[in-house]
Amino acid sequence: MKAISRYHIMTRAFLLTLLCLCCHLSLRAQQDAQFTHYMFNQLYYNPAFAGLSNGNTLTAIHRSQWFGYDGTINSGGAPSTQMISYNTSSKFWNGGLGFHVVNDNLGPSSNLEFQISGSYFLSLPNGASLSIGLKAGMFSSSIDFDEIVVVDPRDGVGNLTGKESQLRPDLGVGILYRNGNFFGGFSTNHLIQPEFDFGQDQIANQLLRHYYLTAGYDYAVTPELTITPTLLLRSVGFDSYNWDLSVIGRFRDQLWGGVSYRQSESASAMIGYKVLKDRSLSLAYAVDIVLTDRQSKEPTSQEIMLIYTFKSKTRVRNLGRNIIRTPRYRY
């Protein structure tokens, strides 16, 4: 049996420290969309993951929050989110490119964002690597005043009708460290912190900075089976925190399954399979079991994911790993 190196001891200690820290963090509102398959969708959280997928990949996700829920006051249904992203290595510099589009529907309000990400890779001693990423794009927020239920008829918002939208520029940065089977990254979104007021001060809403810390380790149990625990810690303005912890098992790099837990919200089960002869198309499904405030929600949320890997002559990077995607819950 091989002796455990200092590196492996430090890696495991780092993951354990993060997990213990999360147990003492508070839980509050988050404005970004969330996905159960976050471990396959790291580009959305951190632009430093651009170019680190194995090949040129196109990913699509549809999430139905509280599946089957219907409002009792109006016809507004449960939140739903759609995302499309593309990730590829760059032919012109030692890095990668990517983009994503997210449509987040939240009853009378909705958000639409488009981001382009770029990364640059640096080699470190002992085979480690560092990826630095930047993303830029636009963030649009819309509100349908016809769907708003006003408690006080004297409220000025109750006299407004129609749909209003506002578009703002958006920026984000991130870094990613990888050494062997361990990876850890930190990123922040919405650096500009744009504000949406729709011409009404009483409904003005600022898009706050979101911070993301992610870490994971690939354990090769056998040549055919790999187990990957992953932690995603989210913070809004360093004032509130929320975390997800998942464990994914991959068999022959074709079939995978796993479980996930979101702090004080839900437990999830995931399964995925690569189809077609060349395994270029991956299909995945996730179901979340709501654990808190069940009386005001449907008991489950569901998510479907498709990943298509294009044939490419571009050199595959060994700095990253295959990426997949956790459910979204609004606090």
Mean pLDDT over 247-270 rounds to 94
Mean pLDDT over 176-202 rounds to 90
CA atoms within 13 A on the CB side of 218: 21
pLDDT digits (tens, 9 = 90+) for 193-242: 999 887 776 677 889 999 999 999 999 999 999 999 999 999 997 878 89
The amino acid present at 180, given as its one-letter code, is G
- The DSSP letter of residue 46 is -
Q: What was the pLDDT predicted at 238?
A: 81
Query: If DSSP states are collapsed to H, E and C, what string results for 269-309?
Result: EEEEEEECCCCCEEEEEEEEEECCCHHHCCCEEEEEEEEEE
Q: What was the pLDDT predicted at 6?
A: 36
> Chain-wide mean pLDDT for the chain?
81
Phi-psi region of 158 (alpha: psi -120 to 50; beta: other; left: phi over 0): alpha
> What's the token pair of residue 58?
């196109």
Angle at 134 between CA 128 and CA 136, to 5 degrees: 160
Pick the more confident residue, 213 or 30: 213
Q: How far is residue 87's CA from residue 100's CA, in Å, rounded to a whole number?
A: 9
pLDDT digits (tens, 9 = 90+) for 43-66: 999 999 999 876 799 999 999 887
CA 159 to chain centre: 37
pLDDT digits (tens, 9 = 90+) for 33-46: 989 999 999 999 99
**Residue boundaries of the structural domains of the chain:** 6-310
Mean pLDDT over 273-292 rounds to 92
Q: What was the pLDDT predicted at 313?
A: 61
| Residue among 280, 274, 227 at smallest CA distance from 254 | 274
Domain 6-310 bears CATH identifier 2.40.50.140: no
| Residue among 66, 124, 33 at smallest CA distance from 325 | 33
pLDDT digits (tens, 9 = 90+) for 114-127: 999 999 999 998 88
Report the percentage of the chain scoring pLDDT > 90.
53
Q: Is the pLDDT score of 148 beyond 90?
A: no
Q: How far is residue 230's CA from residue 212's CA, in Å, rounded to a whole number?
A: 13
